[in-house]
Chain A
């Protein structure tokens, strides 16, 4: 296990390094160069002032040198300022990350729970198979942002039960709960399908295994066979889905947070990109990527711990 971590951590670091360079280059090609914006704001600035400002901010350096200067600052913990919010970037990033993790954790738990239940139902009761398949197709084809809008129309506009979005203004668990129900439901429905499909396939395979026949021969009741003998074994491959899904979940959070105007990493990233806040956009992207890569690693490790065959195969 330790060997895997020791092998994967440098890989993750290399991925992030490469990503930071690619993103830095891409951001260089975004409209809204800060100096150009300053020029537009003040017509008295002449070419000499522009040159002076470029030198002052180090923009006359080659791109690679600027990237390196930025990166070494970040590695020393100097995250710089956010132009959009006019505050240190770190003060904005951490609360946003916490908000996203709460949303993602709740939605993922709900999606896995409901998906595993629906998938097991499809595998154990063939009558339900068609219905679960159709549900999975619908949930995969619905664009998450449309689902969110439909939820807002039904529960906020028509019924008026829940707020249409935003962050709670009054403290308290109940208030926070009211604001999180719709985003969590949207994200969970969008991710339910994959879990239902994989559980159905994996359950069907496990139910054909010899030890299930052996359990039946010993006279174990069907309920016990399904819950104790089949489900835990069918659940192990789901962890690899969880590992693959980490990136998709973060993408889903970006959509739900934007639709529901909910503070979090996804909304922060889109706001920063749209508001020409280059430093914040870069930091948000790297933080999101780090979270995704670490979540993938954690799911991988959990899968290895539960399935010793994997640990033997490629240590």
Chain B
């Protein structure tokens, strides 16, 4: 259980930091998005525990507010992928025939393609063209979540389909059918519980993948738009200043790596690879 606990502890610390962001802002008396041109690239001090960035904004505050965005995208995209994947996998296994063939060919199609180039293309779409608000940070979160879920359901669906197929072939299912249990109840009571284990593993892996993908898109300038901070767009600014302020690149990257490693440890622990 050590891996699971370690992963959950890391994620809990990050989540606490994200939740505490407004209090820290009130306590420091600063706004994470407002530049202070007289205090640019300041080193760590009591007023700015981690120093300031190239516009004089507090790095610690921007990290904490960035955590809200990154964790929200990770969680929302993982939940959306899990729900779509569960529905598709269950339907595929239960219905079989052409529905199964169609869904699995669609999954093959999405898996065969290079993911990031496609994500870049989709993220560049005008949000107004698909009915989302333009220019707000939470609108960006919704847009990125939607794009990530579009690809994220595939892995979950395959795992769920395999687990559901092996469960549907077992004796207690035949017994339940013989007793006249309705198909809906059969799936809910007798098949769905068997999917809980693979679903949690796939879900936590999806969290790791979504956090990484969001930060990559934001780094490329296609994800969360400034002035709102996300770990990815903080790194994009930091790279431009790598010669004058190399330390600014340290914290956002560390935060991404910690969050991703935390979610992966949870997945590993749930899978029971503990020794």
Contact = CB atoms under 8 A, between A and B. Distances in A.
Contact of B117 (A142, A144, A246, A285): A285
B124 interface: yes
Contacts of B239: 145, 149, 152, 259
Interface string A12-48: 0001001100010011011100000000000000000
A143 interface: yes
B215 to A, nearest CB: 6
B125 A292 contact: no
B257 A289 contact: no
Interface in B123-152: 124-126, 129-130
B121 A285 contact: yes
Interface string B2-31: 000000000000000000000000000000
20 contacts: A15-B112, A23-B121, A29-B126, A141-B260, A142-B253, A143-B216, A145-B216, A152-B239, A153-B242, A158-B246, A164-B242, A247-B111, A250-B117, A251-B114, A251-B115, A266-B117, A273-B120, A274-B222, A285-B118, A292-B114
A258 interface: yes
Nearest to B253: A146
- Among B111, B129, B220, B258, the most chain A Cβ lie within 10 Å of the Cβ of B220
A157 B115 contact: no
Nearest to A33: B126
B175 interface: no
B121 A289 contact: no
A35 to B, nearest CB: 15
Interface of B: 109, 111-118, 120-122, 124-126, 129-130, 208, 212, 215-216, 219-222, 235, 238-239, 242-243, 246, 249, 252-253, 256-258, 260-261, 264-265
A255 interface: yes
Given A137-B261, A143-B257, A270-B120, A149 B242 contact: yes
Given A258-B220, A292-B113, A146 B121 contact: no
A144 B252 CA distance: 13
> Which of B121, B130, B219 is packed against the most chain A CB atoms within 10 Å?
B121
Contacts, number: 125
A140 interface: yes
A150 interface: yes
Contacts of A254: 116-117, 120
Interface of A: 15, 18-19, 23, 26-27, 29-31, 137-138, 140-146, 149-150, 152-153, 157-158, 164, 246-248, 250-252, 254-255, 258-259, 266, 269-270, 273-274, 281, 284-285, 288-289, 292-293, 296
A149 B112 contact: no
Given A15-B109, A149-B249, A138 B242 contact: no
Contacts of B256: 143, 146
Contacts of B257: 138, 141-143, 146
A143 B253 contact: yes
A243 to B, nearest CB: 10
A145 B219 contact: yes
Contacts of B216: 143-145, 255
B117 A251 contact: yes
Contacts of B264: 137, 140-141
Nearest to A269: B117
A157 B120 contact: no
Nearest to A18: B109
| Nearest 6 Cβ contacts at the A-B interface | A251-B116, A146-B253, A29-B129, A141-B261, A250-B114, A247-B114
Contact of A296 (B112, B126, B208, B252): B112
Contacts of B249: 146, 149-150, 153
Given A247-B115, A269-B120, A273-B121, A138 B261 contact: yes
Given A141-B260, A247-B115, A274-B221, A149 B253 contact: yes
